[in-house]
Amino acid sequence: MTELSDYPITKKWPAEHPDKIQLYSLPTPNGVKISIMLEETGLPYEPHLVRFENNDQLSPEFASLNPNNKIPAIIDPHGPDGNPMPLFESGAILIYLADKARSLIPRDAPGRYETIQWLMFQVSGVGPMFGQVGFFNKFAGKEYEDKRPRDRYVVEARRFARRSRSTFDGAHMDHGRCLYDCGYRDLSVDQCAQHVL
């Protein structure tokens, strides 16, 4: 597809500013990572609200951009080859935006990979564990009689919080904070843990 309007998702969420990055998301802990990154880098974007209560993420239009039916997702009308660049998965989008803006990720290979390592720690560990704790502690899962799933996620969330604190409180850690912090710019992992535990 060579034009933004070629993407089926733009039929459900028309672009008012087709020259800007199109963000399809919702203000959830995972969803805000991309809007925080876009704000931090100054890249122009147009947000589109994907409503879970309407099952927007299950619509054929949204699935045409993300077949996994999860937020966030973007289309950059000015991708690397000059054509639109569709992306889903928050980690992939964060790396793409950091590269595009030439910001928040080191250019040298060791620093870059150290940063990506800690970003993966967040997207594959911290985020999912805190999400599960939130479900079992604050939402529908709190009514489950069997507390073993909740207890497992609480233990893991606390372990992630300890690991984050011991790593990022050290002066030796410069690169890893860049993209990792985009998800928690104003809220430390400890504060997140206190909120969901």
Mean of pLDDT over the chain: 85
* Mean pLDDT (whole number) for 27-48: 93
Coil vs helix vs strand at 139? coil
Q: How sure is the predictor about 109, in pLDDT bands with cuts at 50, 70 and 90?
A: very high
Whether residue 103 is predicted with pLDDT greater than 80 in this model: the reply is: yes
- Burial letters for 59-86: b for 16+ Cβ neighbours within 10 Å, e otherwise? beebebbbeebebbbbbbbeeeeeebbb
* Mean pLDDT (whole number) for 134-155: 84
pLDDT for position 58: 97
Whether residue 73 is predicted with pLDDT greater than 90 in this model: the reply is: yes
pLDDT for position 69: 96
Q: What are the distances in angstroms from CA 96 to CA 68, 101, 114, 135, 188?
A: 19, 9, 16, 30, 24
Percentage of residues of the chain with pLDDT beyond 90: 54
* Mean pLDDT (whole number) for 96-116: 94
Percentage of residues of the chain with pLDDT beyond 70: 84
Q: Which two tokens stand for residue 174?
A: 């410069």
Q: Which two tokens stand for residue 156?
A: 């893991």
Please, is 192 exposed, middle or buried when counting C-beta atoms within 10 Å of its C-beta (0-12, 13-18, 19+)? buried
Q: Tell me which amino acid residue 48 is.
A: H
Per the model's pLDDT, the better-predicted residue between 177 and 84 turns out to be: 84
Whether residue 123 is predicted with pLDDT greater than 70 in this model: the reply is: yes
- In this predicted model, what pLDDT tens digit does every residue of 155-190 receive, in sequence order? 888 888 887 777 766 544 554 444 545 444 334 455
pLDDT for position 168: 67
Distance between start and end Cα atoms, the chain: 45
* Mean pLDDT (whole number) for 74-93: 96
Per the model's pLDDT, the better-predicted residue between 143 and 191 turns out to be: 143
Per the model's pLDDT, the better-predicted residue between 46 and 174 turns out to be: 46
* 0.85 surpassed by pTM: no
Neighbours of 6 (CB within 10 A): 10
CB 184 within 8 A of CB 164: no
pLDDT for position 174: 52
